[in-house]
Structure 1
Amino acid sequence: MTICILGAGPGGATAALHLARAGHRCLLLDRATFPRDKVCGDALSGKVLSELRRIDEALPAKLAAEPAQLPSWGIDFYAPNGRRLAVPFKPHYNPATDRAAGHISKRIDFDNFLIEEVRRRPEIDFRENTDVAAHEQLPDGRWRLLGPDKQEIATADVLLVANGAQSNFARVVGGHVLEPAHHCAGLRAYYRGVTGLHPDNFIELHFIKEFLPGYLWIFPLPDGQANVGVGMLSEAVAKKKVKLRERLDEILRTHPALKGRFATAERLGPVRGFGLPLGSKRRPLSGPSYLLLGDAGSLIDPFSGEGISHAMVSGRHAADWAARAVAARNFTPEFLKGYDAAVYNRLWQELRLSRAMQCLLGYPWLFNFIANRAANNPTLAETISNMFLDLDLRERLRQPSFYLKLLLGK
């Protein structure tokens, strides 16, 4: 098979669907059988909807009709001083008539939503329950994929690696070693009966002073459920010797703003942990005959922890550059660096902005100041909102007038 994709999450599925749309055949492999769960915050930003639209104009509306999702109209930020900053995704929105700018859906449902689209495309040879245990590069440059018994699964001229944050390929071949300063440790649990959720399903990010430089999230879900979790830089977890599970339970039980809301809430299932390789550092995304996508490419937003849209952006560009490589019969690192340039051209300014906001978490007084200013500063509030939408911030960040508006509060 000329093009092989390793991992059928949002990045891999997006790449496969774009290839199919362009008339290219590909092999898509995943060790799981779908539908399958993945530990995540479950929020789908406006960038996700934009990427769905690029695959097929009908997909956002199709997602909105799914019973396993909720439309979300904004974000409630809670600063360390308790100040609430409500940032709607769309000013003066009307839930009765407007299209939602975001959604919340469990990954078991959203990922399967994409896989159902994959199953409809004859150009995609989708093989689930296929464990790729090893990989080796042949003398001619192609990649050979092997199963647990060393049997050959496939060979590929170009390999799109989208098998997640724990990708052995990304670590061993791509050189993406775990760096505590650029890695987040997270926990997630599902609850039923959390009170005080926003009527328009705003997602909540709580920056609690005693928990900095981490944060806690509460995302509403269908059927009265909520995704509740915490995230903190791995570097800070080690330095402060934080026990995240105990800390999460303590915060929900004792924090003045949360204990009443969780007093009668029921936890559904276990608390599950996960690691997030953050895009706060620019890393290589390609090499000889391979491309790294999504979490395997360490592209997670350093501030919000959002990774689905970035995986889909990288999937779209990976499909483009894999097709170019096949057409040119050029799989060299020099040629495939065009993929790195395309991905970072789209994401790097936003990743830098998120990194700067992440750094604020180490200075509660400064974060409080920003929150207070944003409450009376339309430009700053809109900028925070746009981080979760598909409004490209690159041009705005290049304009001196933008920074003048931030300083003057306009």
Structure 2
Amino acid sequence: MTRFLLVMPPLTGHVNPAAGIAAELAARGHDVAWTGTESVLRPLLGGDARVLGTGTRAFRAQGGHGLAALRSLWEGFIVPYARFTAKPLDAVVREYRPDVLLVDQHTPAGALVAHRHGLPWASFAPGAMELGRPYRALPQVEAWMTGLLRGLWERARLPGAEYVDPRFSPALVLATTGPALTGRAAPPHHAQVGPVIAARPHDPGFPWERLLPGRRRVLVTMGTLAGELGAAFLARAVRALELCGEDVQPVFAAPRGLLPALPARAVAVDRAPVAALMARGELDAVLCHGGMNTVGEALAHGLPLVTAPIRHDQPFVAAQVTAVGAGLRVPFARVTAERLAEALGTVLEATAHREAAVRVGTDLLAGGGAVAAADRLEALG
């Protein structure tokens, strides 16, 4: 038995795929514990999970687009969260005494504490922004990010000569994507395992009886970070789906307060059991922000996408979806209801997008998901 410690940020899109890997490790008889913000982790993981909390504090809301959003992410969350959790993480490692750590790329303090204690650790990349050096054409941006990470290393009083980028374990990087989407093979110590499809015990209930027979259905989900920023887009999405005709039934996963008046055929819930909707074959297409989890799960179920990326890695993922022919991309802030209706109509009607989604999804699933991830993590133990 190996003791695995999962170091995760308080972000649903990062915890969900990690939970599938944790379940696979536990099923193999390993001891698995989580560390991070317990008030976020506990509702996502359920009462049986072992959560070693690092405390709770508020962080600046993320916002903006492009480089402004990148600055907001790093200076408003990644760096202050690393500073806040550094000492609690060290205490957790001393108490739990793990054999291996799985460290999300957004929680660099986990890599620092693993290095301090001489423990093997793997990086977890549930998004695309930290893969493939997307900002290599902007050396000043790369230098700025490196400076922030080196600052965390120095703050942890680790030897400068031993510096390792905390985002990239030299032993193993687990990514929930694959070459069919990224277009490139991974280095030997990278494992592109594809989407992690697993049961989610925290999934909310859903009014299944409201799904009308004989309709084509589009799921609209803009993730957990859109907030008020998504209200204007959602209003255009409602109008666009009205323009698509009576035979298209929209399913909105968004806070009801962000949605305008809806047609009678629409279904709206604050949170949807997305994986269950896909697995039951209830959807025909997905309109989303281009988050890696939603995109990977949609492709794994052969669903074409219309993406409207907002920030962070979403533009990169949306570009990948378009490049492989599995969907279309529209501008989040500027797309009109008419143009959005046209894009949705295209992915619903054109067989090429669905065929590409099926092909790419099949290739992504060949990455092995949670099983392949667990195999690679066991090898570190």
Taking structure 1 as the reference length, the TM-score comes to: 0.31
Higher relative contact order by CA 8 Å / sep ≥ 6: 1 or 2?
1
Higher strand share: 1
Higher helix share: 2
